[in-house]
Amino acid sequence: MPVKGASGAKVAGASRTALVRRARRINRELAEVYPYAHPELDFENPFQLLVATVLSAQTTDLRVNQTTPALFAKYPGPEDLAAANPEEVEEILRPCGFFRAKTRSVMGLSKALVEDHGGEVPGRLEELVKLPGVGRKTAFVVLGNAFGRPGITVDTHFQRLVRRWQWTEQTDPDKIEAEVGSLFPKGEWTDLSHHVIWHGRRICHARKPACGACPIAPLCPAYGEGETDPEKAQKLLKYEKGGFPGQRLKPPQAYLDAGGKPAPPLGAA
């Protein structure tokens, strides 16, 4: 049965042209809502981003950001982590959950970086996904944010939101990536990923989406899945949208306003 957005527009069965137009319009609106969207993991180089992204599975970026300073202070590069005592690494990673598996992954990928890539993080998808514990999602985060290569990050938020918006009916992350990717120019993929993930973390939550406070409600076929009362919805907002800090502990200066909160990059409209 066709579903309706807050605007009442029917979308199920819409033509591909209409789908592309609506998807791009949502992304444009989100770009205005989150002009400062960026990776929420603290990192200073591709190695740190790669490790932090692996650690972020099943936990928040904030938790990872609280953990990685001690890890990188003790093991600054892949050579150091590859040669570490696993039990000491496990102790540092314990707050991130699944710390034994994560220790194996980050030590394994560090060894592979040292043995196969001269201690450098490769900038190609095919090589990144061969590293232990690194899937396409992690690889695209690294490619998009450390190498400037466009990529779509299909995490849990991305999967939930693009299905709510009926951009795809796929459930397999690789198929979601392919179908959603085909709706946008490649050059927009990385920013699109940030916009969607930021919206999922702040407004369009898994269990209680804040529909009544959602700036893209008129475009959304799933409007009404969450709280529609504006005042109650406002209370569901998270991070800077709810008046709280963001997830990064060391955000690049360009992403902060005078009060230290996330803000549009300097010079942005």
Q: Minimal distance in Å, beta carbon 101 to ligand SF4?
A: 32
Q: Minimal distance in Å, beta carbon 225 to ligand SF4?
A: 5
Q: Which is nearer to ligand SF4, 43 or 165 (CB)?
A: 165
Ramachandran assignment for 223, one of left (phi > 0), alpha (psi -120 to 50 degrees), beta (any other): beta
Give the residues lining the site for ligand SF4 (CB under 6 A). Answer: 164, 203-204, 209-211, 214, 216-217, 220, 222-223, 225-226
Report which secondary-structure segment, H or E, holds 55.
Answer: helix 46-55
**How many Å apart are CA 85 and CA 52, to the nearest integer?**
19
Let me know: does 198 contact 27? Beta carbons within 8 Å: no
Query: Alpha-carbon Rg of the chain, whole angstroms?
Result: 19
- How far out from the chain centre does Cα 147 lie? 16
Q: Which is nearer to ligand SF4, 143 or 216 (CB)?
A: 216
Q: Which is nearer to ligand SF4, 128 or 211 (CB)?
A: 211
Q: Which residues of 198-220 are buried (b: 16+ CB within 10 A; e: fewer)?
A: bbbbbbbbeeebbbbbbebbebb
**Which distant-in-sequence residues (6+ apart) come within 8 Å of 4 by Cβ?**
10, 11, 221, 223
Q: Which is nearer to ligand SF4, 131 or 236 (CB)?
A: 236
**Which distant-in-sequence residues (6+ apart) come within 8 Å of 62 by Cβ?**
40, 247, 249
Q: Minimal distance in Å, beta carbon 170 to ligand SF4?
A: 18
Q: Minimal distance in Å, beta carbon 66 to ligand SF4?
A: 28
Q: Give the catalytic positions in this structure.
A: 137, 155
